């Protein structure tokens, strides 16, 4: 019986990657690499930010894919550009689905910038359902869209069913 390493041939070729091997390290996934469909995600970061090149304000949500497809553990970003009323309203309705009282901001005297900024901290750790869709543009390009479709759970809490009542993206 031989004690030789049957994988020695492969170890010689891939050993150079061993020092930095970390299966827990997440990689960013481009939206065009994701298949269309439903995903369960965990929000790992949210922020009201400013693009360095243009100074344009954006709201960025970084999410880790938890279930739904083959990219479990990968990170994705949902970026909202404040270029029109529709995109601002969609972001507001998605945050409301996640428990942020966006419909009360005006009555409380909270401006949009303040509301979006303060909501970013509350989003961290939330689990939610998203839908990724690809749609053709009039310019012939494919556009990849992420919509938040419901609240799932906060890390450590019992799961709650997805919200459907006020959800314009469900179904």
pLDDT at site 2? 56
Q: 16 pLDDT exceeds 50?
A: yes
Burial class of residue 116 in the structure, from the number of CB atoms within 10 Å of its CB (0-12 exposed, 13-18 middle, 19+ buried)? buried
| This prediction's pTM | 0.74
- What value does the mean pLDDT of the chain take? 84
Strand pairing partners for 116? Answer: none
Q: Contact, 86 vs 93, CB < 8 A? A: no
Domain ranges within the chain, ordered by starting residue: 26-154
Q: CB of 149 within 8 A of CB of 130? A: yes
Q: Mean pLDDT over residues 3-28, rounded?
A: 70
Q: What is the pLDDT of residue 4?
A: 81
CATH 3.30.70 fits 26-154, yes or no: no
Q: Tell me the C-alpha to C-alpha distance, in Å, between residue 31 and each of 18, 88, 97, 102, 132.
A: 29, 21, 22, 27, 8
pLDDT in tens, 41-91: 999 999 999 999 999 999 999 999 998 777 888 999 999 999 999 999 999
- % pLDDT > 90, the chain: 64
95-118: pLDDT as tens digits: 999 999 999 999 999 999 999 999
Answer yes or no: is pLDDT of 162 > 60: no
Q: How confident is the model at residue 165 (pLDDT cuts 50, 70, 90)?
A: very low
Residue 163 in this model has a pLDDT that exceeds 50: no
On the question of pLDDT at 11 being above 80, the answer is no
Give pLDDT, residue 58: 95
Residue at token pair 């930010």? 49
């Amino acid at each position: 019986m031989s004690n030789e390493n049957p994988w020695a041939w492969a170890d010689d070729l891939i050993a150079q990657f061993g020092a930095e091997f970390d299966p827990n390290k997440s990689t960013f996934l481009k939206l065009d690499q994701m298949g269309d469909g439903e995903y369960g995600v965990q929000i790992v970061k949210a922020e009201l930010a400013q693009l360095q090149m243009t100074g344009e304000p954006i709201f960025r949500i970084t999410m880790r894919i938890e279930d739904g497809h083959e990219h479990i553990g990968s990170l994705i970003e949902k970026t909202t550009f404040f270029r029109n009323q529709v995109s601002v309203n969609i972001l507001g309705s998605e945050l409301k689905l996640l428990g942020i009282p966006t419909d009360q901001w005006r009555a409380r005297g909270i401006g949009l910038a303040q509301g979006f900024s303060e909501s970013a901290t509350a989003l961290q750790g939330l689990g939610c359902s998203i839908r990724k869709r690809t749609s053709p543009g009039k310019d012939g390009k494919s556009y990849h869209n992420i919509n938040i479709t419901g609240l799932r759970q906060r890390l450590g809490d019992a799961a709650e069913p997805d919200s459907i009542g006020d959800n314009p993206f469900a179904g």
